[in-house]
């Protein structure tokens, strides 16, 4: 949890293993205060007792008095998901943020296509619930390796008519052609996708000829950075504080700002959560985040300092 984020004190009320690797955890408030409403597509920042902060998509709005999250027991976990799936249990106290909605559902469209791969189905479960309330037509594609990996299939089968729910099992059916998932571009159809990088990259390629922003995606990890050997140092000026420093070729902007003592809040360190955004007043950025569109990156108005670096010799930030 960042210093400027409002914290909610919650406790684990229910902890269920839904598949070999996916657990569902229900969080309820530790006091009588109601939980803030979570729009479909929202996530929580979860502060763990071991000091780590991780973000997890919400499966519903919290209107029933609890927040539900799905957690993948990732063998490469650095302690976040491993703690929640292996050590946490009913009664474990946690601190979470109010819901953050970086993956909003547009209510002005006529039809919706939702594509979820693996644990990426979690924000789409909440979207399905919202779309059913709106009585909006939808198609849902759920991509897993094996049927038993589809942890939320039973819940979705109760919400989505059989003809509009498509389970794709790669172990049985092979790789799914992304073009069959997205179809042709239609400005009245919203296409939302969440899942592993391979799926989202394939969908991006399949829709490259679509208008910018027509494919709406949420990534759980940022782009893996390829370090350039022609990096040079850069003078960074902080307008409000009056500080300035030289950013070394092997430093991230976040490292340099932390060294100077004026670092913004940060969380994922992968350019995927949006916490560390800073306004750019002057200079050009090598954008490495996955949040901004191509036109937003070209405008150079915001920089996510955990992964992005200056391309110009001087950079002025609103800090």
Helix (H) or strand (E) holding 32: none
Show Cβ contacts of residue 250 under 8 Å, excluding neighbours closer than 6 positions: 231
What are the tens digits of pLDDT across the range 284-312?
A: 999 888 788 888 888 999 999 988 889 99
pLDDT beyond 50 at 2: no
Cα angle vertex 123, ends 120, 126, to 5°? Answer: 140
What are the tens digits of pLDDT across the range 170-205?
A: 999 988 999 999 999 999 999 999 998 889 989 999
What are the tens digits of pLDDT across the range 32-77?
A: 889 999 999 999 999 888 778 888 999 999 999 999 999 999 876 6
CA dihedral 208, 224, 46, 50 (to 10 degrees): 170
Please tell me the predicted confidence (pLDDT) of residue 81.
Answer: 87
22: tokens are 């996916």
What are the tens digits of pLDDT across the range 86-134?
A: 999 999 999 999 999 989 999 999 999 999 999 999 999 999 999 999 9
Task: Decide: residue 299, CB within 10 A, 0-12 exposed, 13-18 middle, 19+ buried.
Answer: exposed
Rg of the chain over Cα atoms, rounded to whole angstroms, equals 21
pLDDT beyond 60 at 29: yes
pLDDT beyond 70 at 231: no
pLDDT average, residue stretch 243-250 = 90
Name the more confident of 240 and 2. Answer: 240
Domain with CATH 3.40.50.80 in the chain: 111-218
> Regarding the domain delimited by 234-317, which CATH topology (the fold level of the hierarchy) does it fall under?
Ubiquitin-like (UB roll) (3.10.20)
Q: Are the C-beta atoms of 242 and 266 separated by less than 8 Å?
A: no
CA separation for the pair 149, 204 (Å, rounded)? 25
Task: Decide: residue 246, CB within 10 A, 0-12 exposed, 13-18 middle, 19+ buried.
Answer: exposed
What are the tens digits of pLDDT across the range 249-278?
A: 888 898 899 888 998 887 777 777 778 899
Q: Are the C-beta atoms of 7 and 1 separated by less than 8 Å?
A: yes
The domain 7-97 having CATH identifier 2.60.40.1170: the answer here is no
Which segments of the chain does DSSP mark as H helices, in order? 80-82, 122-134, 153-157, 170-173, 178-182, 197-206, 253-260, 294-299
Domain with CATH 3.10.20.30 in the chain: 234-317
Please tell me the predicted confidence (pLDDT) of residue 292.
Answer: 83
Domain with CATH 2.40.30.10 in the chain: 7-97
Please tell me the predicted confidence (pLDDT) of residue 273.
Answer: 75
- How far is residue 194 from each of residues 12, 136, 235, 241, measured CA to CA in Å? 26, 20, 37, 39
Quickly state the pLDDT bin for 223 (edges 50, 70, 90): very low
Query: What SS3 state is found at 54?
Result: strand
Please tell me the predicted confidence (pLDDT) of residue 197.
Answer: 84
Show Cβ contacts of residue 265 under 8 Å, excluding neighbours closer than 6 positions: 2, 3, 4, 5, 275, 276
Structural class in CATH, domain 111-218: alpha beta
Show Cβ contacts of residue 282 under 8 Å, excluding neighbours closer than 6 positions: 237, 314, 315, 316
Q: Are the C-beta atoms of 247 and 234 separated by less than 8 Å?
A: yes
The 8-class DSSP code of residue 97 comes to E
Residue 232: how many other CB atoms lie within 10 Å: 11
Please tell me the predicted confidence (pLDDT) of residue 188.
Answer: 97
pLDDT average, residue stretch 3-23 = 87
Please tell me the predicted confidence (pLDDT) of residue 71.
Answer: 96
Please tell me the predicted confidence (pLDDT) of residue 76.
Answer: 66
Query: What SS3 state is found at 255?
Result: helix
Show Cβ contacts of residue 289 under 8 Å, excluding neighbours closer than 6 positions: 222, 223, 271, 272, 304, 307, 308
CA separation for the pair 283, 204 (Å, rounded)? 28
Please tell me the predicted confidence (pLDDT) of residue 128.
Answer: 98
């Amino acid at each position: 949890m960042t210093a400027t984020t409002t914290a909610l004190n919650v406790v684990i009320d229910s902890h269920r293993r839904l598949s070999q690797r996916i657990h569902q955890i229900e969080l309820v408030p530790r006091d009588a205060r109601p939980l803030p409403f979570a729009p479909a597509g929202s996530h929580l920042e979860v502060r763990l007792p071991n000091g780590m902060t991780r973000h997890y998509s919400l499966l519903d709005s919290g209107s029933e008095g609890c927040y539900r999250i799905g957690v993948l027991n990732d063998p490469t976990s650095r302690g976040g998901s491993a703690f929640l799936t292996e050590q946490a249990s009913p009664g474990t106290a946690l601190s979470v943020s109010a819901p953050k909605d970086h993956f909003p559902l547009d209510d002005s469209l006529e039809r919706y296509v939702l594509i979820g791969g693996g644990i990426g189905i979690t924000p789409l479960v909440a979207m399905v619930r919202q779309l059913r309330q709106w009585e909006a037509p939808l198609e849902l594609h759920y991509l897993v390796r094996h049927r038993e990996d589809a942890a939320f299939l039973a819940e979705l089968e109760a919400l989505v008519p059989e003809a509009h729910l498509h389970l794709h099992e790669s172990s049985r059916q092979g790789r799914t052609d992304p073009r069959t998932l997205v179809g042709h571009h239609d400005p009245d159809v919203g296409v939302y996708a969440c899942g592993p990088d391979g799926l989202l990259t394939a969908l991006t390629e399949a829709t490259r000829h679509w208008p910018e922003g027509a494919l709406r995606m949420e990534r759980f990890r940022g782009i893996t950075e390829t370090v350039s050997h022609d990096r040079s140092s850069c003078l960074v000026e902080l307008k409000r504080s009056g500080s300035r420093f030289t950013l070394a070729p092997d430093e991230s902007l976040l490292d340099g700002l932390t060294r100077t003592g004026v670092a913004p809040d940060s969380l994922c360190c992968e350019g995927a959560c949006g916490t560390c955004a800073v306004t750019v007043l002057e200079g050009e950025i090598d954008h490495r985040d996955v949040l901004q569109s191509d036109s937003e990156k070209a405008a150079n108005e915001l920089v996510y300092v955990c992964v992005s670096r200056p391309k110009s010799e001087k950079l002025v930030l609103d800090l």
